Amino acid sequence: MTTTRRDLLASGSALTAAAIAPTASAKPVKFKPTWESLSQNYQTPEWFKDAKLGIWAHWGPQCVPEAGDWYGRQMYMQGNFYYDHHVKNYGHPSKTGFLDIIGQWKADKWHPETLTKLYKAAGAKYIVAMANHHDNLDLYDSKYHAWNSVRVGPKKDIVGTWEKLVKAEGLRFGVSNHSAHAWHWWQTAYGYDAEGPLKGVRYDAFRLTKKDGKGTWWDGLDPQELYTGRAEGMVPPDGITSIKDMQAFNDKTSGEWTEAQPKNNPYYAKQWLARQNDLMDKYKPDFVYMDNYVTPLAGVGLEATAYLYNQSTKWHGQNEAVVTGNKLDATQAKALTNNVERGASAYLRPEYWQTCTCIGNWHYDRGLYERDGYKSAKHVIQLLTDAVSKNGNLLLSIPIRGNGEIDEKEVVILEDMAAWMAVNGEAIFGTRAWHTFGEGPTEVGAGHQNEAAAKPFTAQDIRFTTKDGALYALAQDWPEGGQMLITTFAKNTLTSKATIERVELLGIAQPLEFELSPDGLNVKLPAQRPAATPVLKITGQTLV
């Protein structure tokens, strides 16, 4: 039975973490939903420190049009590429809305067993399934939200299927939750054309009610549960008469990225928390990606985080769960794991963190595929090694087509990653940061959503990791002339007193010739290149 938002209100329950939690244990709760409690009691699990690389199945109905990111919101913005694409391929949004895109999502060529094995071979130690996006469709057997993938669309438990396969491969399982933003993200669906023959005609979210679904594939469902209802002050009033003014209005209001709760929707945050905790209990993830600045819905995310940490402690005997947040301060980064979306760090961070990016757009983009616009495997490896050297992990999205397939270019990228990992994986997995992250001339495009500002890495950009007494030097490219110079070992530096006994190139059986000079450690490289970028294994005294 599905519990509706009205049922939640009628129950009078606050649906706090404690209210929803099973009453199985009489032990005191270790984690409380406060920054003080979480920051004092949380420790990054060892599995996350060791894992380094996750792969993300950022996949849902917005991949059906194969047009890129935020299709659901932007298809309702006249003058936008997505609006034009939608009108051309599906019809006007007053008649054919995003609801109908969900109805066309069949996932008929989805073979998650094959994908899971590809991800694992490419080096993924955790695999993350999207549980919902800003489009507000739950991609699992949701108890508190009728608009879910078991009831509509593919009629499959997407998250549950991933969970079983990922755990069977011995990997850690994660989910991502983006739905806290749905209430303001969807306000464009209540708008209208500012110009043209259908000027002023409201889009489908404005007019559809539960009774309109009678006899259709969504019979019994309320479209307002999907589109979240009109939010106060966010639906453009009648009277805007130009596309330019309409877009300016949307950018100012419904385009706002806020973590607040909707003023006229008191049950929204309660239902979000119920859905989130239900997701945790059903699939027991070790990793939860929260797509929020700090925490969602004015701190409700703290309740969700405390609930998961306590549940994980019950499941494992200790907390094994990682929860991310964006733009965390120093205290918050001790309670959650700081995520840097499409960005990097300019320094070695004291707390474990993560960067997330995609080889293309978050949702599948056919045009990007046709333009050969994906990141190469070599580029991905460079981002990974940079993050790992600075105490970070990389969560990488490989976009999935609406039908459930990945394309042949994506397969090649994963296979190229697997080839590099087969040679150099020991320098990544289970390693720890050294006293310095590396050296080189290239400035990293540090900061949230700033990877476009990054300059290409060079062979002089070298990153360091350590494990089992060895120091690994990971060059971001092959140096010309067969010589690799590591200036960190130059005379009068902190490491100049180290005794180097052996230098190897991973993938080559024989040790390499090397010399310590005032300029640093000079290593003669062989002509053979066993991988796309070189990794040296350096052993000796007082290195690590």
**Which two tokens mark 9?**
């209100």
Q: Which residues contact 7 (CB under 8 A, 6 or more apart)?
A: none
User: Residue 477: which of 417, 393, 535, 415 has the closest Cα?
Assistant: 535
- Which has more confidence, 83 or 7? 83
**Which of 97-101, 228-232, 307-311 has the weakest average pLDDT?**
228-232
Q: Which residues of 55-71 are buried (b: 16+ CB within 10 A; e: fewer)?
A: bbbbbbbbbbbbbbbbb
Flag whether the pTM goes above 0.75.
yes
Work out the average pLDDT over 346-373.
97
| CATH class of domain segment(s) 52-261+340-427 | alpha beta
| Maximum CA extent, the chain | 81
Work out the average pLDDT over 453-475.
96
pLDDT digits (tens, 9 = 90+) for 402-446: 999 999 999 999 999 999 999 999 999 999 999 999 999 998 878
pLDDT score at 239: 87
Homologous superfamily of 458-541 in CATH? Golgi alpha-mannosidase II (2.60.40.1180)
Are 44 and 322 in contact, with CB atoms under 8 Å apart?
A: yes
How many C-beta atoms lie closer than 10 Å to residue 543's C-beta? Answer: 17
CA–CA distance, 344 with 357 (Å, rounded to integer): 10
pLDDT band at 171 (very low <50, low <70, confident <90, very high): very high
**Which two tokens mark 408?**
């042949």
Q: Which residues contact 141 (CB under 8 A, 6 or more apart)?
A: 148, 150, 157, 160, 282
How many C-beta atoms lie closer than 10 Å to residue 100's C-beta? Answer: 17
pLDDT digits (tens, 9 = 90+) for 137-146: 999 999 999 9
| Distance from the Cα of residue 301 to its chain's centroid | 17
Q: In this structure, are strands 172-177 and 462-467 parallel, antiparallel, or unpaired?
A: unpaired
Fold match flag (52-261+340-427 vs 458-541): no
pLDDT score at 234: 87
- H-type alpha helices, 228-327: 243-252, 268-283, 300-316
Q: Which residues contact 28 (CB under 8 A, 6 or more apart)?
A: none
Work out the average pLDDT over 380-391.
98
Are 125 and 171 in contact, with CB atoms under 8 Å apart?
A: yes
Q: Please give the mean pLDDT across all residues of the chain.
A: 93
pLDDT score at 23: 38
Are 397 and 133 in contact, with CB atoms under 8 Å apart?
A: no
> Domain coordinates of the chain in residue numbers?
52-261+340-427, 458-541
Residue 258 DSSP SS3 = coil
CA–CA distance, 450 with 430 (Å, rounded to integer): 28
pLDDT digits (tens, 9 = 90+) for 32-62: 999 999 999 999 999 999 999 999 999 999 9
